[in-house]
Amino acid sequence: MAENAEIIESVRTLPTRVAAEPEGLSENELRWRPSDDAWSIKEVVGHLRDDSEVWRRRLYMMITKTEPVLPAYDQEALVREREYQDADLGAIIGDLQRFRLDVVENLKTLTGDGWERTGQHPDWGRLTVREGMERMVRHTEGHLDQLRQMKENIVHARASAGEP
């Protein structure tokens, strides 16, 4: 189980870590999908933006209400609806930064047993703030690995084609 400060630091540094992954890639490379049913780098970053927005809301609910029902969402539908392929990556990352900083500020207000406050998620059941934040951090790390792999594949394809 991670310490509170470790969780806060992971949440705080996410936007910078995400922003580093697409550096040096062209717009076409940012929009490339490894398969028809896969997301592009822009869409993965957009999904992380959406996830941060939803977790900001969930955390606020857990802090301010007793046993709130936490919202679930259709991540595929939201990525399509928000059309991240055509969105400005800097704006997506800016939103991600803003949402994550809000989460950090809310986490910093927790004292005593605040990290043990709970909410009910329709798919995951009862979660404490700590469990929710640990879940969010693991989810994010998985997508950071995905972004790294996608960039590595793009750079490798570029080198194989003799491009710089």
Q: What's the CATH superfamily of 1-109?
A: dinb family like domain (1.20.120.450)
Alpha-carbon torsion 108, 52, 100, 1, what sign?
positive
* Whole-number CA gyration radius for the chain: 17
CA distance 13 to 117: 24
pTM of the model: 0.94
Position 163 scores a pLDDT of: 77
The 10 Å Cβ neighbour count of residue 88 is: 10
Banded model confidence at residue 109, pLDDT cuts 50, 70, 90: very high
User: What are the strands, taking DSSP E only, across the chain?
Assistant: 118-121, 125-128
> Tens of pLDDT along 55-65?
999 999 999 99
Domain boundaries, the chain: 1-109
Position 1 scores a pLDDT of: 56
